[in-house]
Amino acid sequence: MFNIADACCGRWARHSAGAMRVAIHWEREDGSAGAISYSALHQLSGRLAHALQRLGVGTGDRVAIVLPQRPETAVSHLGCYQLGAVAMPLSMLFGPEALQFRLQDSGARVAIVDASVLPTLRELRASCPALQAIIVVGDPPPGRASAGEGAWRELLDREGSAFVPHLTRADDPALLIYTSGTTGPPKGALVPHRALIGNLTGFVCSQNWFGAEPGGVFWSPADWAWTGGLMDALLPTLYFGREIVAYQGRFGAEKAFDLMQRHRVTHAFLFPTALKAMMKEVPEPRSRYRLELKAMMSAGEPVGDAVYAWCRDQLRVPVNEMFGQTEINYVVGNCGSYMDAEGHRHPAWPSRPGSMGRPYPGHRVAVIDDEGREVPRGTVGEVAVHRLDVHGDPDPVFFLGYWNNPEATAAKYTGDEASSWCRTGDNARMDDAGYLWYHGRSDDMIKAAGYRIGPSEIENCLVKHPAVANAAVIGKPDRDRGALIKACIVLAPGALGGDRLVQELQQHVRARLAPYEVPKEIEFVDSLPMTTTGKVQRKVLREREARRLSKASPPSASAKRPR
């Protein structure tokens, strides 16, 4: 038996020492701010559980949560878990089609939404027959409320705070998170309550033994609608009874440092895109800000040694990279130090620039070939996680399967029950010390002139050039080579693109990497297509190239295709 709401809030609220402890410090872009205790969080989630129950939500029913980083988001999750319902977080950035598909596919019964999303939900309501009620957080837009709409505050004020939680088993579903695939529509990954336990060894290690010392304040700009913000930040922080900062507003480098200084943030999750922006805009933060960072994790894309060195030298906290997926989260990464039972710190397995890290305690991770066989150390293959942990027991980190999609679930695994590996779709090699070195997504790998080339190493090299703010590398179809390497470059402020810079960047790569890794084509772009979790969407860039090639005549020699 295990329930996320009880583990992350209920048990703290029941103890006098933890009840009045701050759970969430919240801020909004307009300057408003406040804090909420574990006791208040528990009472509000009890009221919401009552309200949801009155709206007809029962065990296993899906509840959509379309909210930003704010206390009501945490309350919504905890209320669903107490009720035995399945929380379905959805990003505020989703457009109408994205919301419509997920609401229809999941059969969500209730949606808890920010007031700014309400007009879109009203338009979609007729096409989502299972959606019976909408709970609106914040001031609703002008106009008469539609049937089934209710204001958050009014609904909760009618209910009592004492709620008897549903007794959930560890294997019962808690979350439905839709993930983008390489083909077809998004798939809903059904995540059980026990997955939080599977996450914890990685969380603790990546944050240099989080929870071992008194106090601690966590912050991440990662959206709580995604696995990174929810399972790598919010829920594990609450599990340890610590404080987390919720900022509802746009990310900016100056704002990030300001938040960390004012709230005395000790632990953080900052994705590489954020770190790159912070490095470019505030190259010497210690001269302007008083920081109390003790540990920092990064994930989503390789950090690269340029950013790694900046974190080490300027933030004075070596970044611990982590790797995981919604289906099997927090399975690989680094750990700078650990604390023994007597309270003494010891070095663990420090991060090595460019490495994904090592398997976190408990998880059985390997690099396999197309047939599901482990490959020799130093050989590139696909990263996979075994259904059974290192002790031969079922690994709690695993998802239950894809929602209403048994074929996709089966395709995620290879081997029989006794030797079943879950494929990640990410390529890497493992060295003799057990560190994994990323070689790109399976579908992002570039085959050029007989070489298999991963884009991340080239991107990391390009970002080191002062004229480059960000870079994405793809394989462009080529009749002679199979593919040629193309780099899409976002220029740093003040930098000017052109033939001269193209040649300079090519020489920059040629001087640092193998000759076959030099981009044959460089295009300067205003921005790169990104997911809401900060990952570069190389697939979008490849599709753009395919459309261009289908229409264009043979290109001439220019800055766009230097010879």
Residue 297: beta bridge partners? 269, 320
Q: Which tens digits make up the pLDDT trace of 307-351?
A: 999 999 999 999 999 999 999 999 999 999 999 989 999 999 988
pLDDT of 460 strictly over 70:
yes
pLDDT computed for residue 417 by the predictor? 63
**Neighbour count for residue 540 (Cβ, 10 Å):** 15
Q: Which tens digits make up the pLDDT trace of 476-530?
A: 987 666 789 999 999 999 999 999 999 999 999 998 888 888 999 999 999 999 8
Chain-centroid distance, C-alpha 295: 18
pLDDT of 555 strictly over 60:
no
Q: Which residues of the chain does CATH 3.40.50.980 include?
A: 29-193
* Spatial separation of the C-alpha atoms in residues 299 and 307, rounded to whole Å: 13
Per the rule left: phi > 0, alpha: psi between -120 and 50, beta: everything else, 463 is alpha
Q: To which residue do tokens 């109408």 refer? A: 96
Q: What is the CATH number of domain 444-551?
A: 3.30.300.30
- Give yes or no for a contact between 81 and 61, defined as CB atoms under 8 angstroms apart: no
Q: To which residue do tokens 């309501």 refer? A: 125
What is the rounded end-to-end Cα distance, in angstroms, of the chain? 64
Domain 29-193 has CATH 2.60.120.260: no
* Spatial separation of the C-alpha atoms in residues 352 and 343, rounded to whole Å: 26
pLDDT of 558 strictly over 70:
no
pLDDT of 418 strictly over 70:
no
Q: What are phi and psi of 195, to 5 degrees?
A: -60, -30
At what angle are helices 455-463 and 499-510 packed, to 10 degrees? 120
pLDDT computed for residue 382 by the predictor? 95
pLDDT > 90: percent of the chain: 77
Q: Which residues of the chain does CATH 3.30.300.30 include?
A: 444-551
pLDDT computed for residue 556 by the predictor? 39
pLDDT of 300 strictly over 70:
yes
pLDDT computed for residue 181 by the predictor? 56
pLDDT computed for residue 553 by the predictor? 52
* Residue 410: burial class (beta carbons within 10 Å; 0-12, 13-18, 19+): exposed
- Scanning 351-468, the segments in alpha helix (DSSP H) are 406-411, 455-463
Q: Which tens digits make up the pLDDT trace of 48-68?
A: 999 999 999 999 999 999 999
Total count of residues recorded for the chain: 563
Q: What is the band of 182 on the pLDDT scale with cuts at 50, 70, 90? A: very low
Task: Confirm whether pTM is higher than 0.75.
Answer: yes
pLDDT of 279 strictly over 90:
yes
